[in-house]
Amino acid sequence: MTGGRKGVIGFLSSLFKTNMKNASRAGLKVIPASEHGLPSNLVPDHVLKVLNGLARHGHDAWLVGGCLRDFLLGITPKDFDVATSAHPEVVRSLFRNSRIIGRRFKLIHVLFGREIVEVATFRANQDSAGTNGNSGRSRRHARSGRILRDNVYGTIEEDALRRDFTVNALYYTATDGSLRDFCGGVQDLHNGVIRLIGDPGSRYREDPVRMLRALRFAARLDFSIEEHTAAAIHKQAALLRDIPPARLFDESLKLFLSGKGCRTIEMMREYGLLSFLFPATESVLARDSQGLQFLEKALQDTDARAAEGKPVSPAFLVAVLLWPPMRQAERKLQEQDIDSPEAYQQAAAQLFAQQCRYTAIPRRFSMAAREVWFLQKRLESDRSRQVETLLQNSCFRAAYDFLLLREAAGEKVGGAVRRWTGVLRRMQTEAEPARPGAQLADAESRPRRSRPRRRYRNRRPGGAGTS
Angle at alpha carbon of residue 80, lines to 76 and 81, rounded to 5°: 145
Q: Spot the catalytic one: 70, 159, 164, 301.
A: 164
Return d(Cα 366, Cα 348) in angstroms, integer: 10
Let me know: does 324 contact 294? Beta carbons within 8 Å.
Answer: yes
Cα 427 → chain centroid: 37
Nearest of 257, 262, 359, 360 to residue 270 by alpha carbon:
262
Residues 6+ apart with CB under 8 A from 228: 196, 200
- Whether 79 is catalytic is yes
Identify how many contiguous H helices and E strands the chain contains and give both numbers.
Answer: 21, 12
DSSP 305-373: HHHTT----HHHHHHHHHHHHHHHHHHHHHTTT--HHHHHHHHHHHHHHHHTTTS---HHHHHHHHHHH
Return d(Cα 63, Cα 12) in angstroms, integer: 19
DSSP annotation of 80? -
Give the neighbor-by-neighbor strand order of the sheet with 61-64: 29-31, 179-181, 170-172, 61-64, 81-84, 115-121, 107-112, 98-101
Return d(Cα 268, Cα 254) in angstroms, integer: 13
3-state DSSP call for residue 407? helix
Paired strand residues for 61: 84
3-state DSSP call for residue 81? strand
Residues 6+ apart with CB under 8 A from 448: none
Q: Spot the catalytic one: 70, 81, 150, 159.
A: 81
Return d(Cα 186, Cα 192) in angstroms, integer: 10
Return d(Cα 191, Cα 224) in angstroms, integer: 9
Which H or E run contains 408? helix 396-408
- Whether 164 is catalytic is yes
Residues identified as active-site:
79, 81, 164
